[in-house]
Amino acid sequence: MHIKCTWGTCIEHIHTHMHAHSPHMHARLRTHNQNDVTGQVQSGSTRRLVFAFTGWKEPTMPEGCGRALVIPRDLTLLGSDLMVAPIPEVAVLRVPASHLVARAAASGSGAIAAGSQVEVQLLCRIGAAPWPTTGKTGIRTLSTADGTQYTEIGYDWATQHFYVDHSHCCSATPRALLQTAPLPVANLGSSLNMTVYVDGGLIESFLKGKVITPLVAPDPLAALPEARVTTVLETSGGVTCSVESWQLAY
C-alpha cells in the first residue's frame, strides 16, 4: 500500500475502493485541507471515518518511510470526548502465519514482533485501585538487536500521559522529542489496551480513544528494516501484560 498519487486521484481511489467492496454502502467524503478528509459511511448505521496523508513531503520523504496515507480511522463521541480508533477492516492486512501470542510480565522478555511492518496489541490488566504511580508500560518498536536505537510508545503512570519518546531514535545523536496526550489513569478502567501499527517510518499508536502518529526515520546503517524488532516495556511493577502481534502485508 505504498500509494503515490495526487490528492484528487487518491480521494477518487478511496471512494471507488469502498464502493467496489461494499456496493450497498454509501460514502461521502469531505475535504478539509490537503492532509485530511472525513468520510460519512452509511450502511444501515452511520460511521464517520477520517482519511489523512502522513505529512511526508515528496521528494524529501525518507527512504522506506512507509505508507503515504494513515490507516482510516473511526470517529465516535463518548460524552463530549472525541474517540479515535483504527477501522476493524485493517485486520485483512495481517499475515496469519506470523501471529504471535505471548505473556510479558516485565521488560526484557524478548522480541514480540519482528520486522518493520507489524501490528502489536498490548493488553494489560490493571486491577483495582490503587493503580501504579511510577514507571511506564508500553513497547519499544523498530529496535536494533542491541537495543540502542528504538522508538518507545506507552503510558507514563507518574504523569498520566500516553506518550511517544523519540530520544533513542534514529541515530547515535539523541533527539529530545516527546509526544504526549493527557490520559487520567481513572479513564483507563480495569485494563490498558494499546494498539500500534508500524510501517517503516510511520507509526500509528492508539490508546483509549487517543492516537499519536509519529513519523521517524530509522538509521538503515544501524539495522535493516527486516532486522528491527519490537519488545515490551514494563517498569511499573503493578500490571501484567499479554501481547498479540502480526506481520502486515500492505
Tell me what the mean pLDDT of segment 203-209 comes to. 96
CA distance 106 to 127: 16
pTM: 0.80
pLDDT at 16: 44
Task: Please give the grid coordinates belonging to residue 250.
Answer: 500492505
Q: What percentage of the chain's residues is helix, strand, coil (to nearest 5)?
A: 10, 45, 45
Question: What band does 6 get if pLDDT is binned at 50, 70 and 90?
Answer: very low
At position 230, the amino acid (one-letter code) is: T
Q: How many CB atoms lie within 10 A of CB 180?
A: 13
96 preceded by a cis bond (ω within 30 of 0): no
Could you report the per-residue pLDDT of 15-37, keeping only the tens digit for each? 444 444 444 444 444 444 444 54
Sequence ranges of the domains in the chain: 7-90, 94-247
What class has domain 94-247? mainly beta
**CA-to-CA distance for 150 and 144, rounded, in angstroms?**
7
Chain centroid, CA 48 distance in Å: 19
DSSP state of 116: S
The predicted structure's pLDDT at residue 177:
86
